[in-house]
Structure 1
């Protein structure tokens, strides 16, 4: 605890010092200067004693045990004053590292025998385990001559998870049949393999071939057949933790965007009745065997929430060999990485090995700056060179992906922000095509 003079006391001392200069020219003011100095000293001593003996308010913190990455979360501090003396204070919560806040520090008054609840917003931008250490409290004296700085230990460990807020948005829009607002396309499939699920009332957008005319005549209102894709299939994420995933276009790295994407696709696939698993490589190696049930989302969150990309080079062949040993049943393997042309020599044998048993979807992350360069107006010669080089690079990238497509490899080439929606749409297309 530290007692420091406040601005009010410093201003009074400055005035008293200026009065001393005046006394040098007007000696008859010496008694006034002496008396004012004594009064100031008495006031400062009494004020310091009052603030020093002031009892700390009781402080509690309300915050969720788990927070979403890069999402604003509410934190509440409650201060209780059990004494008969009001508090004048400034409070600053010792929030976790790698976070930003809104609403701190807070300055106010806590009346006697009362409780005050104050809220601020916290946005973490790094996953993993983190902690609140305590609360910094600056108590202002009654006459505002002193500030007593105190630290109240108030430990709280929390977990920062990938952004699961998109799942809630998906669930809400799915309930209201408005998934198009997210960019998710749900089309009825032509051909075999679509299983009958149930009859329901006709909804706007249903195809005519879905209408059950016998049921319609019986109930005297339009009745549609509802179908569902084949269930009990397996999806395994093969996630690159190598140095390429350290790339960062905005507040999140490509690796963080990848985790956000697999959470949304996991939710969608589990609702379809499929089993979800994952494996990481080229860094921290983790294996989660495919499971069914919506509780799998929590298990996946706890598996990946503290994963960080490494500085290792990506070893695709070793990852494929390890996955082939662990995953015996045919599955949709979603390989997510940030690919370059020079990866072709390793990537081709990797994909060939995986396709011996599994259906492979290759998701490659593209730097957002490439799109920005193409959209930026060309004003100088250097801009033209940069535009041409970027366009040539994207053409080569597209050509490499087309070659993979000719060999039967499914792929998604997209920016990190578009990855969740693009992967969900690709998954739904695969389900409706019966490829898996």
Structure 2
């Protein structure tokens, strides 16, 4: 660049992964008039770009919102559901459940009246993301933590549209990030996305007692606690199971784990000695995960174990099922 001129250089940078990207030094080298000597200097330009999580499960949101509208009675007749909230009275039509007849209201009028219910609203959802060493394991091209984030974002979008309150907690041995007191509204999802963007797994064993204590502090009211963690036998049996009664005593707990689809492929391998050993190893791994999941279910926990591509819609379906049953 000739002396005394000003020029602008534009460089397109495409981030490959979420997180905070900070500026490097800008180096300027200037040459003398004869080109025999030069001097160089570095300039620090402070700026940061935050790359947000991709939210690939957004494509499943319209179908789950349609199911939510059906539960909420916007596209179908309000029905009776265990633990749901009373909505209104209407005239009896053939096919209605006779248990929903309101005999007092019927006695006051000339027609048979039935009660209608709607799914509970303004419930509390606490998303707890385990950022310990198990979340660093890669399934395909991304860590398990990223699949858990994607599922958390879909559940956040769905729960806020359902009128529920969503809180977020990321923990391993200390709180890594937290979103508290977010009422249903349009800014909840963007707040959760911004909190998850710089989160990275820590290569430490998760403190289950500390996680339980932090979850209880973040959920003073009865809540649905969705715990994104692994289903490895040792961390669950030695860490989570001893403190699980503290969570299930007052709250509904859902454990969501990322399964490796390669293990499923291994179980079908045949044709050589190595393939048979792979099949045995895959079958044993699946049996251990099923055993761990059964232990959690015996404590009243809802367990979702799915591949990364299927985890987000599976967690959303479990949430809708709990909401329909009035268990939130």
- Could you say which TM-score interval applies, normalised by the shorter chain? 0.7 to 0.9
Q: What CA distance in whole angstroms lies between the structure 2 residues aligned with 1:415 and 1:243?
A: 19
**Equivalent position of 1:384 in the other structure:** 276
TM-aligned CA deviation for residue 338 of structure 1: 1.5
Equivalent residue for 2:240, pick from 347, 361, 364? 347
Tell me if the contact between 2:15 and 2:51 (Cα under 8 Å) persists in the aligned partners: no
Q: CA RMSD in A?
A: 3.5
**Equivalent position of 1:356 in the other structure:** 249
Q: What CA distance in whole angstroms lies between the structure 2 residues aligned with 1:395 and 1:94?
A: 48
Matched, 1:275 2:153: no
**Equivalent position of 2:57 in the other structure:** 166
Distance change in 2, residues 1:415/1:189 (3 Å): farther
Q: What CA distance in whole angstroms lies between the structure 1 residues aligned with 2:173 and 2:87?
A: 43
TM-aligned CA deviation for residue 404 of structure 1: 2.1
Alignment of 1:200-349 (within 5 A): 228-283=118-173, 285=175, 286-292=177-183, 293-343=185-235, 344-349=237-242
**Equivalent position of 1:395 in the other structure:** 287
What are structure 1's unaligned runs of at least 5 residues? 2-51, 60-76, 78-92, 96-121, 137-151, 180-185, 199-207, 210-225
After TM superposition, the score normalised by the length of structure 2 is: 0.73
**Greater RCO (CA < 8 Å, at least 6 residues apart):** 2
Deviations 1:360-382 (A, max 9, x none): 1111222232123124x422101
Tell me if the contact between 2:173 and 2:207 (Cα under 8 Å) persists in the aligned partners: no
Aligned pairs, how many?
Answer: 280
Deviations 1:370-414 (A, max 9, x none): 123124x42210110110121022112212212321231111112
**Equivalent position of 1:124 in the other structure:** 16
TM-aligned CA deviation for residue 294 of structure 1: 2.5
TM-aligned CA deviation for residue 353 of structure 1: 1.3
Alignment of 1:11-160 (within 5 A): 57-59=7-9, 93=11, 95=13, 122-125=14-17, 127-131=18-22, 157-160=48-51
Distance change in 2, residues 1:265/1:326 (3 Å): closer
Tell me if the contact between 2:128 and 2:170 (Cα under 8 Å) persists in the aligned partners: yes
User: Residue 124 of structure 1: SS of its match in structure 2?
Assistant: coil
Q: Which has the larger radius of gyration?
A: 1
Distance change in 2, residues 1:195/1:391 (3 Å): same
Tell me if the contact between 1:242 and 1:282 (Cα under 8 Å) persists in the aligned partners: yes
